[in-house]
Amino acid sequence: MEKPKLTIDEMAVFCKRKGFVYPSAEIYGGIAGFYDFGHLGVELKNNIKKEWWKTFVQQRDDVVGIDGSIITNPNVWKASGHVDGFTDVIVDCKKCGSRFRGDTLIEDKLKIPTAGMPLDEIAEKLKGHRIKCQKCGSELSEPKKFNLMFSTNVGPVQGSVAYLRPETAQIIFADFKLVQENARLKLPFGIAQIGKSFRNEISPREFLFRMREFEQMELEYFVHPEKQDECIFIEEVSDYELNVLSAEMQKNKKNMGKLTIRQCLSKKIIRTKWHAYWLASMHKWFVELGANPEHFRIRQHVKDELSHYALDTWDLEYEFPFGWRELQGLSNRTDFDLKQHMEHSKADLSLFDEESKKKILPHVICEPSQGVERAFLVFLFDAYSYDKARENVVLRLHPKLAPVKIGIFPLVSNKADVVKKARGVYDELKQRWACTFDLSGSIGRRYARADETGIYATVTIDFESLEDDSVTIRSRDTTEQIRVKISELKDVLTKFMEGEKLGKLGKSVGVK
C-alpha cells in the first residue's frame, strides 16, 4: 500500500511555508496544542466544513443543524459523565516535572494497544518495564487520572465554574426537544453541528492530529427504539466496498479484509444497517472529495476499548505516516445520553409515538464524530505529490476543496493594456470563485507557485488576447492548455471544475 509521501513534521513545515497553518502566536514561542490557520488554511478548512454541511445537512431531508454555545450550563457535563470520567492517565517526572500520558508511554515503548487499560495495569506496566521520563531519563511518579476539560469562571464570581465544551454532541442532546419540535422532525432523523471543542490533552502531538483546541463535525442520528434496524437508505451503499477490521479479527490477530457493506451485514460483522450505512457514507464522503480509499479502513472497538455510553463503536481510520489512527468515531450511543439528561434536568425528552400512542425515548443508532483538522490533514496528505517532470510540488486537491480555484496571470507585467485586460477577467471571475491575481515573476514561476498551493486552473492573458479576446486556461493536474474566448470563460471553467476534461472544452495549445 502506498504510504503518504511526507512525514507529519514535513507536513507541518509545508503548511507553515505555504500559509496553511502556523503555531499559534509563534512570536511568543507558540503554545503547545494550539494552531492558527493562515490565508490558505482558513479557505481549505472552510471548504471542508462547507462540503460536510452540504452533504450531511442541506442535501438531506432527515437532518437539521444547530450551532450551540461553547460554554453551557455545567450540569450538562455532570449528566454526560464528563465531570467525573473524562480523564486520561498522567505521570510526572520526579526530577524535571515533565508530564506524560501513561498509556502513550506504554504504547511507544512496548508497541501494544492500551485502549481501555485500567489505571493499575498502566502503573504495573510502567514500573515493570522501567519506563522513564522521555526528556531527562529520571523516575516517574505514580500514574493518576487527569480530567481533560478546560474550566473557567462565568461572570466576576469566583467558584462559578463552567467548562469549555470537550465535544459538540452534548449540546445536541440538551437542545434535542426544542429542535425536534420546532423543525417538526419525525423519526428517524439527525441533528448535526460543526464547532469548536477543547480538550486539555496531556501531550498534544503530531501537529494537527492531537490539539487542545479543535473543531468537530458531529451528527446524532435518532431512531425509534423498536425500529433500530429499519434503515431506509441501506440499498444506496450495499455494494460499497471498504477495508474492514472487526473486533473478532483483532482478537484472532487477522489482517483487515476488503468487504462490501452487504457482506459486513450478512456475516453480522456490523451489528445494524444504520451503523453500516453511516460508516459507508462517511467513507464515501472522503473518497468523493479525492481521498485515496486504500488509505482508509473501518476498525471496530474491542470490548475493553468501548466508552461507557457505547454499545458498539467503529472508527474510520486513516494510515497516517505515524500509523493507522482514528479519523472519525462512529458510536451506537443507545438512549444513554437522553436518559442521563432526563434524569439530571427532570425535563421530559421523550417523544409521542403516533403508532403505539405511547411515549418513547429515541436511540442514537449512530453518532459519526469527525475532527475537522484530522480531515484537513488527510486531504493534504492525499493531495500532496512531487512531480519529477515539473521539479515541483503539485497539491492535487479536489476543486471543491482547493483554497483558491483560479489564478489569473497577465503574461507580462510591464504592459499596461495586458495587465488591465487581465484585471478585468479577474474582477469578473472573483464574483464566482476564490481567485488570485499574480503578476510577479516569470510565468513558469507563477505556474509553479499555483501548483504548489493547489490552484485548480490558471488563466493567462497575453498580447493575442488584446486582439481576439481569447485567453489560455491551464490545468494544474495535467498542465494541458486550451485557448477559449473570454465570453465563454465562465462556462468552460464551470464544466472543468465539475470534472470535464480540459481538452474537450476548447482548442488545445499543448502541455506546459
Residues in the site for ligand ATP, rule: CB under 6 A? 167, 199, 201, 210-211, 214, 216, 326-329, 369-371, 373-374
Query: Residue 457: how many CB atoms within 10 A of its CB?
Result: 24
Q: How far is the CB of 10 from ligand ATP (least distance, A)?
A: 19
DSSP annotation of 295 reads G
Residue 444: what residue type?
A: G
Residues 6+ apart with CB under 8 A from 503: 480, 482
Which of 328/460 has CB closer to ligand ATP? Answer: 328
Q: How far is the CB of 214 from ligand ATP (least distance, A)?
A: 4
Looking up cell 442535501, which residue turns up? 59
Which of 167/382 has CB closer to ligand ATP? Answer: 167
Q: Does the N-terminal peptide bond of residue 225 adopt cis geometry, omega within 30 degrees of 0? A: no
In angstroms, the CA 392 to CA 453 distance is: 11
CA 236 from centroid of its chain's CA atoms: 23
In angstroms, the CA 395 to CA 453 distance is: 6
Which of 265/316 has CB closer to ligand ATP? Answer: 316
Which of 119/412 has CB closer to ligand ATP? Answer: 119
CB 455 within 8 A of CB 44: no
Q: Which three cell numbers stand for residue 343?
A: 434524569
**Closest CB to ligand ATP: residue number:** 371
CA 37 from centroid of its chain's CA atoms: 15
CB 71 within 8 A of CB 154: yes
Q: How far is the CB of 217 from ligand ATP (least distance, A)?
A: 9
Which of 194/234 has CB closer to ligand ATP? Answer: 194
Q: How many residues does the chain have?
A: 512
Which of 374/421 has CB closer to ligand ATP? Answer: 374
Which of 369/460 has CB closer to ligand ATP? Answer: 369
Query: Largest Cα–Cα distance in the chain?
Result: 81
In angstroms, the CA 504 to CA 234 distance is: 37
Instruction: List alpha helices for 183-309, DSSP H.
Output: 247-251, 261-266, 273-288
Q: Per-residue DSSP letters for 315-375?
A: EEEEEETTEEEEEEEEEE-BTHHHHHHHHHH-----EEETTTTEEE--EEEEEEEEEHHHH
Which of 323/424 has CB closer to ligand ATP? Answer: 323
**Residue 3 backbone dihedrals phi, psi, to 5 degrees:** -95, 160
Instruction: List alpha helices for 138-259, DSSP H.
Output: 169-174, 176-182, 247-251
Q: Which three cell numbers stand for residue 319?
A: 494510515
Q: How far is the CB of 357 from ligand ATP (least distance, A)?
A: 37
Looking up cell 442520528, which residue turns up? 221
Which of 87/479 has CB closer to ligand ATP? Answer: 87
Which of 170/370 has CB closer to ligand ATP? Answer: 370
Per the DSSP assignment, residues forming a β-bridge with 153 are: 161
431-432-435 Cα angle (round to 5) = 80
Looking up cell 473557567, which residue turns up? 152
Q: Quick one: three-class SS letters along 107-170?
A: HHHHCCCCCCCCHHHHHHHHHHCCCCCCCCCCCECCCEEEECCCEEECCCCCCCEEEECCCCHH
Which of 145/430 has CB closer to ligand ATP? Answer: 145
Q: How far is the CB of 201 from ligand ATP (least distance, A)?
A: 5
Q: How far is the CB of 219 from ligand ATP (least distance, A)?
A: 11
Q: How far is the CB of 218 from ligand ATP (least distance, A)?
A: 7
Which of 122/327 has CB closer to ligand ATP? Answer: 327
Looking up cell 473524562, which residue turns up? 86
Q: Which three cell numbers stand for residue 122?
A: 498502566
Which of 205/490 has CB closer to ligand ATP? Answer: 205
C-alpha pair distances (Å), 483 with each of 72, 309, 405, 467, 508: 57, 59, 18, 14, 6
Q: Which three cell numbers stand for residue 184?
A: 417538526
